[in-house]
Amino acid sequence: MDLLVIGINHRTAPLEVREKLWLSAEEVRSALPQLRQQWFSECFVVSTCNRTEIYGIPASVNGGSPSLDSVGQFLIDLKAAGATVKLQHLYRLAAEDAIRHLFRVAAGVDSMVVGDVQILGQVREGFALGLEQKTVGIFLNRLLQSTNRVGKRVRSETRIGEGAVSVSYAAVELASKIFEDLTQRSALLIGAGETGELAARHLQGKNIGGLFIANRTRAKAEEVAAALGAHAVDFDSIREKIQEVDIVVSCIGGSGYVLTRDEITDAMKKRLNRPLLVLDLGVPRNVDPSANKIGNVFLHDLDALAGIVRQNIEQRETEVPKAIAIVDEELGKFHAWYSSLEVHPTITDLHRHFEEIRQDEVQKHQNRFSSANDRELLDLVTRRIVNKILHAPTTELRNGSNESDEMKRKRIHIVRTLFGLRKDDPDS
């Protein structure tokens, strides 16, 4: 299959270069018809913060395959990024390499953070824009089905997407390792800065039962609380508040501890020693580290959370070979489907299919014919009927030799779908 991918990603260009080629949905909508008109019979674009890639099947009318220079320059000109982006930042992969690349992207193997779970959705979004602009057809449709399957299998059969890879999400993961149901728990965010807010958002993503925000400046606490749908509380009341909440996320500036060991010990007595998770994301630290010695108090600082992230990334990397094995397996299936779109195997399959139906029906009804001669006649007549029915489609398939490869395969695909000849089809 003559799939072509031309693009830029985090391996070939730094952020300040690749961001220049990032395409919004609107820009993709306007680019697709131009790409189709100039180079491709089918195409779609994937554009994320780490990659912008054009996937397309070259239109044979132009003769030859589109070059990196022509399509790459189109992309650079489209974004007027010539001052920053050079053709050397782009790459071009063709045929099997291009399909393997797409599968690896969907599997999260090619992502900056291995196992990125969002990329499959972003590929689908790119494809949806192609559908909307009518620039994708049978082949890319089938390719997307296989790509989807790769993504889903990799996520269900490997642990490549497991484990938090950001400090703020690691904090939430830690909470889930202590508490069974976060909807029954509440959290206190001390400090209304960006880091704490991100952790609070992750907690809300897990449907935390209650969220309170305390900040030295009450107005700022109220502002963030309004944005998060939380409750602002007085900064002076945090010692009382830790008696009732289950999770404390602290990320506030200034020197000195905002919570001392004695204050937490006192709170633990009042909360009947219920477990308390304290996530100290502040630098310098906001909570006395010796508080971790108190029973049922789980105190973790930035270094500890970074340790979780590091381990999770290592764990994800050990899963890469499993993901690649799935990519290779699905590549094989896709090839099997594509090879089935050859003229001769299809004619053979078509005849075999009709012959099976004929034999089945003859066997069912031959007892109604008493003499051997009648049964022979039945066999002969049904054989002739089948041959006559198949004559036109067989001739039509064979006569397509002057058509482009793509048109021929489209025609075969339609025949195979119409008559249910889907033995080599991975979806069947």
Active-site residue set: 49
Compute how many residues bind other proteins; rule: CB under 8 A: 24
φ, ψ (nearest 5 deg) of residue 257: -80, 135
Tokens of 242: 């830790």
**Residue 308 is a binding residue for other proteins (CB under 8 A):** yes
Q: How far are the Cα atoms of 216, 238, 291 from residue 189, in angstroms, in the given order?
A: 12, 10, 18
**Residue 137 is a binding residue for other proteins (CB under 8 A):** no
In a 3-state reduction of DSSP, which class is residue 389?
helix
Q: Which listed residue (300, 410, 411, 413) binds other proteins by CB under 8 A?
A: 300
Q: Which listed residue (14, 229, 256, 295) binds other proteins by CB under 8 A?
A: 295
**Residue 172 is a binding residue for other proteins (CB under 8 A):** no
Q: How far are the Cα atoms of 71, 261, 412, 421, 423 from residue 349, in angstroms, in the given order?
A: 40, 78, 11, 7, 9
| C-beta closer to other proteins: residue 130 or 163 | 163
How far apart are alpha carbons 370 and 382 in whole angstroms? 17
| C-beta closer to other proteins: residue 34 or 311 | 311
At its nearest, how many Å lie between other proteins and the CB of residue 307? 6
| C-beta closer to other proteins: residue 181 or 374 | 181
Q: Which listed residue (94, 304, 313, 324) binds other proteins by CB under 8 A?
A: 304
CA angle 249, 254, 259 (to 5 degrees): 45
* DSSP H or E segment with residue 44: strand 40-47
**Residue 84 is a binding residue for other proteins (CB under 8 A):** no
**Residue 243 is a binding residue for other proteins (CB under 8 A):** no
What are the helix (H) ranges across 246-370? 261-270, 302-318, 320-339, 343-365
Name the segment binding other proteins (CB under 8 A); options: 145-153, 229-237, 249-257, 273-281: 273-281
At its nearest, how many Å lie between other proteins and the CB of residue 368? 49
For 52, left (φ over 0), alpha (ψ -120 to 50), or beta? beta
At its nearest, how many Å lie between other proteins and the CB of residue 166? 15
Return the residues of window 173-212 that contact other proteins according to CB under 8 A: 174, 176-181
Q: Which listed residue (274, 365, 391, 398) binds other proteins by CB under 8 A?
A: 274
Name the segment binding other proteins (CB under 8 A); options: 250-258, 270-278, 393-401, 417-425: 270-278
Tokens of 353: 């299919």
**Residue 296 is a binding residue for other proteins (CB under 8 A):** yes
| C-beta closer to other proteins: residue 33 or 289 | 289
| C-beta closer to other proteins: residue 27 or 162 | 162
Burial 388-411 (b: 16+ CB within 10 A, else e): eebeebbeebeeeeeeeebebbbb
Other CB atoms within 10 Å distance of the CB of residue 97 = 13
Q: Which listed residue (12, 166, 195, 315) binds other proteins by CB under 8 A?
A: 315
**Residue 157 is a binding residue for other proteins (CB under 8 A):** yes
| C-beta closer to other proteins: residue 272 or 372 | 272
How far apart are alpha carbons 105 and 294 in whole angstroms? 46
Other CB atoms within 10 Å distance of the CB of residue 175 = 23
Name the segment binding other proteins (CB under 8 A); options: 23-31, 213-221, 295-303, 336-344: 295-303
Q: How far are the Cα atoms of 100, 195, 232 from residue 282, in angstroms, in the given order?
A: 44, 9, 20
**Residue 141 is a binding residue for other proteins (CB under 8 A):** no
**Residue 317 is a binding residue for other proteins (CB under 8 A):** no
Tokens of 321: 């070979």
At its nearest, how many Å lie between other proteins and the CB of residue 247? 13
At its nearest, how many Å lie between other proteins and the CB of residue 332? 20
At its nearest, how many Å lie between other proteins and the CB of residue 154? 13
Burial of 275 (0-12, 13-18, 19+ CB in 10 A): middle
The per-residue DSSP string of 240-278 comes to HHTTT-SEEEE---SSS-SB-HHHHHHHHHHTTT--EEE
Contact residues toward other proteins (CB under 8 A) are 157, 159, 163, 174, 176-181, 272-275, 292, 295-296, 298, 300, 304, 307-308, 311, 315
